[in-house]
Amino acid sequence: MDWPTIDLIIRFMAISNLILLIILLWRDYNKTLPAKLGIVLCIGVVSYFIFEIPESNFTITPINLTLCATMSSIYSIFWLFSRSWFNDETHISWKSWSTVLLTTIISVVLWMARVSGYDQGVNIPTRIMWMGFSIWGLWIAWQGKDNDLVEARRKLRILFIVTVGSSIGLITVIFFIYNLFLKMITPYLITISVNSIILIITYYLIISLVRSYPIDLFAPIEKPSSGSKDNISEEELALQEKLEHYISYERAYRNESLTIALLSKSLGEQEYKLRRLINGRLGYRNFSSFLNHYRLAEVREALRDPQQSEVPILTIALDSGFGSLAPFNRAFRQAEGMTPSEYRQIY
């Protein structure tokens, strides 16, 4: 069996897995942003399998440009996917979409330059850019691992994102090496290696989704419950009241460095009990959202207070526990559907 035949078989198997993955995501989680981005990511990888074929003589046509653009968006979409799933972002700003569009256009332009004969290292900037988005996505997953309150997602987080992200990085490195030693390595050896990695990843993802069903790994973000004390044990009730007193009355949420581990230590309670209470009982999917609930309540009160009308919004945000302006603006807009300045003008 020759190299092209082996390559074709692996491509067919991987595309089949990707189509199955798209079906699973659409069937079970189609209303959620992470699943939608996951579907777009899968479509991008399918485009790669159709587009990146060794020893092909490419021409600049609308079909090839479309395939190249879709394939080139994989890494930036992976970055958005990490944000939406692991940070529970329900809205992607126009600035982020502009970043995806800009990097995709740059990748396509560099590809057109290569096809036109200007192959003097023009592919290297593309690979470096893609590697940057891969590392960025990995960092997002790693940075928020301690704040994740969804137990099923928390268990899968590190293994899942490191496996996928590292593989994307490995693929980028393989192509980088190939571009440096273009005449010394068989093109089919490179593509078979890359395609085999993708085949393994897609198989792993399918197994993970099937095993986790019906656990809502991509569950839509619901409004936290009011914390009703019905059907709650005395132990849970005592812990809930203790938590509410510490967070609300002692205003522990103002501590921008507060983590679930530090909270557990401060209350003298086991961390897993707090995670179970905040997620399962109060309805929060990550610890930052839990704290922001109290922080935003204080901000809204301050913005409505006539006596604080001259106090800068940044000062109010910092006093409430937000570490900087950007995460505050993002949290406020997501909660209220408007900017803090607009909110202050209305009220």
Structure tokens of 276?
């179970």
CB atoms within 10 A of CB 176: 16
DSSP letters spanning 148-188: B--HHHHHHHHHHHHHHHHHHHHHHHHHHHHHHTTTTS-HH
**Contact assessment for residue 196 and residue 10, using Cβ atoms and an 8 Å cutoff:** yes
Query: CA nearest 84: which of 23, 31, 47, 21?
Result: 31
**Contact assessment for residue 180 and residue 189, using Cβ atoms and an 8 Å cutoff:** no
Query: CA nearest 149: which of 263, 39, 231?
Result: 263
Q: Which CATH architecture has domain 234-346?
A: Orthogonal Bundle (1.10)
The upper half-sphere exposure of residue 119, i.e. CA atoms within 13 Å in the direction of its Cβ, equals: 7
Per-residue pLDDT of the chain (347 residues; tens, 9 = 90+): 787 888 889 989 989 999 998 998 888 888 889 889 999 999 998 998 888 776 667 788 898 899 999 999 998 999 999 888 888 888 888 899 999 999 999 999 988 888 887 765 667 788 788 888 888 888 888 888 888 888 777 777 777 666 776 676 666 676 667 666 655 566 777 778 778 878 887 787 777 766 665 556 666 555 555 555 556 778 888 999 999 999 988 999 999 999 999 999 999 999 989 998 998 888 888 899 899 999 999 999 999 998 998 899 999 999 999 988 888 998 898 888 899 999 998 87
Query: CA nearest 316: which of 338, 334, 332?
Result: 332
DSSP letters spanning 31-91: TSHHHHHHHHHHHHHHHHHHH--TT------HHHHHHHHHHHTHHHHHHHHHHHHHS----
Structure tokens of 186?
């068989």
Interatomic CA distance for residues 183 and 197, integer angstroms: 23
Kindly report whether the global pTM for this prediction surpasses the value 0.85.
Answer: no
- φ, ψ at 342 (rounded to 5°): -65, -40
Compute CA distances 343 → 94, 289, 298, whole Å: 21, 20, 13
**Contact assessment for residue 81 and residue 34, using Cβ atoms and an 8 Å cutoff:** yes
CATH class of 3-212: mainly alpha
Q: One fold for both 3-212 and 234-346?
A: no
Query: Domains of the chain: which residue ranges?
Result: 3-212, 234-346
Q: Which long-range contacts (CB under 8 A, 24 or more apart) does 53-61 make?
A: 53/191, 54/4, 54/7, 54/187, 54/188, 54/190, 54/191, 55/187, 58/115, 59/115, 60/112, 60/115, 60/116
